[in-house]
Amino acid sequence: MSEVVCPRRALLAGAGLTMLLAACGENPPPTAPSPSQNTGSGNGDGSLVKAADVPVGGGVVTADNVLVLQLTAGTFTAFSAVCPHQNFRLSPPDPQGLITCVAHQSHFKAADGSRVDGPAPSGLSPIAVQVVDGRVRRVG
């Protein structure tokens, strides 16, 4: 009867590959925002954030996973703050107007949410907003 010998390296490599495949099997939830990004109340009336808390030329990510932008003074827009690639939370735009997914480096234009590059299959989903009583609220 012949014996099958399994070299130690092959055994360790197989175990490592198994762990890697298990780790890649699930889409992770959106990452938690940093405290400077996390604003908003989600209080049921569509209110996302105080208009005064959204910097001119930038934006904030709310607790409701909405990226609220004020690229020019007094004009507010919003997009889903979840990357369409693998559901990681996006960062507010940089000074050049690019929104980045830090997980896999997809980039989007802050002006219209369109995809610039990276593995994301599409641009960002727009969210209709308006300012009411000093708060940015979802419309509809």
Q: What is the average pLDDT across 107-122?
A: 97
Distance between CA atoms of residues 63 and 99, nearest Å? 17
pTM above 0.85, yes or no: no
Supply the pLDDT for residue 50.
97
> Which residue in the block uniquely carries the two structure tokens 């690019």?
98
Supply the pLDDT for residue 43.
55
User: What are 19-50's pLDDT values in tens digits?
Assistant: 444 444 444 444 443 333 344 445 567 899 99
Distance between CA atoms of residues 76 and 69, nearest Å? 6
CATH class assigned to 38-138? mainly beta
Q: For residue 140, what pLDDT band results from cuts at 50, 70 and 90?
A: confident
